[in-house]
A and B are shown apart, each in its own frame.
Chain A
């Protein structure tokens, strides 16, 4: 027994040393946190209390930039959207509502848009938000010296001269945007753009305070101190572990903002985030397919549909994939229902077209695009086999080997293995999976160095054009080698002659989608993504958006938290 005592003593001693070492280490790391959330041990109490208006959430990545000209990803657009109002902003139902603009007029030809700005909006340093801020921001975004990726992409073909400026062939001042006075902004478009209103809520089109940006130069938007806000929230802290937003008291609509604080931590592992949610540290968590099984019955479980489509891109320069029957066989052979039910298991929908469900409505009947066109693809292995046999005859081959560039989502490994298995049901087909990082896939897409590719597309504005425009001949994002005069004509007509005829335009898109998926089988849609999440019941009125910032926190409030 003596031995046991001695052992215990050593253990205690070790534990003592361990704790001493720990508390020694915290002096530098802990102090800054102390003011924020109190000392670790009582975090639960500090976030509790009498329904404090504090929202605690996580993000899966750091904010890459808060410079609206440079932003390219969901995280940046999210927090730009929460701190900065554009001309319009997205309301609780994801419809554009007045932001800095009170209203606007369109000219008859749809080429000139005049926005009347509110005069009570200010930046968080006290400067008024004026039309010049928009002119500066838009010019900056499209200026090739800025090195923006989204500026040229979003503005080319929309705003007058943007394309030429981005290519360095015109002066920045020629951009079709002008401040006729401090509170009137006039925008000249390249061609009528029916969805321009929803564009103005997009991150790239947010205003910038010229004086402030120039003053900070290269340091602009690198820290909480070198950022300006004109929206519902402003940054208070921003470090590598997360960031903290507080209500912007000077916001023009501050009366309607209830949330006092938003704390965001970066957590990349789903299981870590779920564990944080379980211990009441955070108020929302995204679930991976395994966790859905466990939490499906929970009252806190929610599924948010997203208009993001995933599909197989098929490189038509490949001999086999150049054959339309081979492509159709690939479209038909994949069992999408089992895929979304078992692998994704998060409420994702089987992909049956190029336009996601609940994304675009018929301008008159309000019927959903997807409803009207219906399922353009049905899984049918037998038919697929027949098509495949025809294709093999036409190509005069017995066996085929195709490379497949894997996806980069959380379920990529399983998804890739599944798709390989499904495709190999076709007699004599071998699929070689290549799992590559996202950036490499992008590169190989640009070079068209692939056979099959698991790819995704989210909308940049609320209009079918964002999904369909990319497949025109030599379209910047086409990269499948698809070229159809008929298709090109449909899209061009929709964006030119029919630009101001919403119904006919919509019809054109319907027809184009059928052509794209049903007849030419350019892509094999896989699924429309959804997000399975847990939300604490006391979080109310957070808007979920199909584009731009994922969530609208302006109207959010905490209600009934103990």
Chain B
């Protein structure tokens, strides 16, 4: 196990290095200038300002400087937020995004699993159709459309929750629901399929034959075995939420990292683009690692050494 983790960590470092390199050069191909008032400055003046940020150097030199600084934990300062450390900006904004992400993930998967369970238990019944329909619908509406509808009807018309902004837990309700709908749908459908399969296996029949009641069987034997494959989809789901936060944060005016990322790309704020990309990448790789480990823990049949 220890060796496996070490090996994975080594790969992770290599991956990070390659991602940093790749993004750095890709970013340099981004058209446009990082100066926000380039239309008001003469070319000489633009050159002076660019030199201040070290952007007058040849790209390989810039790359070298960036990597050296990165190794020392310095991601530079933002262009659009004058002088502000990239690290500070990311740390400032990661809180709301993570909170929304986790809430959506937890609520989405739990509710989804319940829906899936109901479907499986009442297979081909009204409840099955109902929850399958909900799940398919949840998966089929673009999240920003759903968010807009939620905001207008639940926020404005019904007035149950604040329509936008950030602060109290009430503010997180609508964006969480908007984000949770997708993991909910996926979890529900996955759970249903897996449960149906599990419920058809021999050991369930045995348990039933031994007189364990229906719900007992479901919870004691079924759910646990259905969970294993579910965990495999959690990783991609968590990453999918990243896409969701980008638009949801915008619609609900949540000061998160996603909308900041889009903005920094549009304003050619190179240090923030690099910083957020690397941050996303670390997050991403860690999730994949955790899922792989979890998989091994939950299902003893899987030996990690073998997978490699």
Contacts and interface: CB of A to CB of B under 8 A. Distances in A.
Check A-B contact in the complex, CB < 8 A. Answer: yes
Interface of A: 3, 7, 10, 13-14, 17-18, 21-23, 25-26, 28-30, 33, 37, 39-41, 43, 58, 62, 64-65, 67, 70, 72-73, 144-150, 152-153, 166-168, 218-222, 239-242, 265-269, 271-273, 275-276, 278-279, 281, 436-446, 455, 476-477, 479
A40 B171 contact: yes
Contact of A269 (B48, B162, B253): B253
Contacts of A275: 151-152, 155-156, 163-164
Interface in B88-119: 89, 92-93, 95-96, 99, 102-103, 106-107, 110-111, 114, 118
Interface of B: 31-46, 48-49, 52-53, 80-84, 89, 92-93, 95-96, 99, 102-103, 106-107, 110-111, 114, 118, 122, 125-127, 148, 151-152, 155-156, 159, 162-173, 176, 250-255, 259, 265-268
A442 B110 CA distance: 49
B41 A272 contact: no
B31 A440 contact: yes
A103 B136 CA distance: 71
A29 B96 contact: yes
Nearest to A44: B159
B42 A476 contact: yes
A266 B81 contact: no
Contact of A14 (B110, B122, B148, B176): B110
Contact of B266 (A279, A281, A438): A438
Nearest to B34: A439
A476 B106 CA distance: 55
Contacts of A26: 168-169, 172
A240 B34 CA distance: 21
Given A240-B93, A269-B253, A272-B252, A72 B102 contact: no
A343 to B, nearest CB: 21
Contacts, number: 221
> Taking each of B82, B92, B151, B170, which has the highest tally of chain A beta carbons within 10 Å of its own beta carbon?
B82
Contacts of A41: 168, 170
Given A276-B164, A446-B46, A25 B169 contact: yes
A150 B41 CA distance: 8
A148 B43 CA distance: 14
A443 B95 contact: no
B33 A266 contact: no
A33 B155 CA distance: 20
B38 A442 contact: yes
Contacts of B53: 147
B170 to A, nearest CB: 4
B168 A152 contact: no
Given A152-B45, A442-B32, A266 B176 contact: no
Given A14-B110, A240-B93, A438-B267, A268 B259 contact: yes
Contacts of B267: 437-439
A22 B151 contact: no
Given A166-B48, A239-B92, A477-B39, 19 more contacts: A7-B118, A22-B169, A30-B169, A40-B162, A64-B80, A73-B36, A149-B36, A149-B45, A166-B45, A167-B48, A168-B48, A220-B83, A241-B96, A272-B252, A436-B32, A440-B31, A442-B39, A443-B33, A446-B39
